Amino acid sequence: MQKRQINAVIDLALLVAFIIVGLTSVVLFFFLPSGGGGFGWVHAGTGATNLRVFLGVTRGQWVDLHNITGLIFMVLMIVHIVLHIPFYRTIRRCLSGSGNEKCDRE
């Protein structure tokens, strides 16, 4: 696989991970907050315990999905940065306007 193709796959995976982290953040913040509360219809009474669920998934599972996807996002971001090291080496020239056509290609 060429570097450009690897970059495209990494970028697509970053986008998917970002969307999942964002959606789970919204669910955890608005529907299943840590201190209780949230919207009343997300609780499923199960007798002695009051299991907090949203879309059939418990709060603990939402937290696990959020945390695992966040870690995957961070690893992919490190790979993304490593793939762009040549650009970071020339970024000062590109920003100052004294760069050449290499700034346009990166």
Residue ranges per structural domain of the chain: 3-105
Q: What is the pLDDT of residue 37?
A: 57
Please write the tens of the pLDDT for every residue from 36-93: 655 554 455 544 345 678 888 888 899 999 999 999 999 999 999 999 998 888 888 8
Q: What is the pLDDT of residue 47?
A: 42
The number of beta carbons lying within 10 Å of the beta carbon of residue 76 is 20
Question: What is the pLDDT confidence band of residue 32, given thresholds at 50, 70 and 90?
Answer: confident
- Residue 32 has phi, psi (to 5 degrees) of -130, 60
Q: Which of 60, 72, 83, 58 is nearest to 18 (CA)?
A: 72
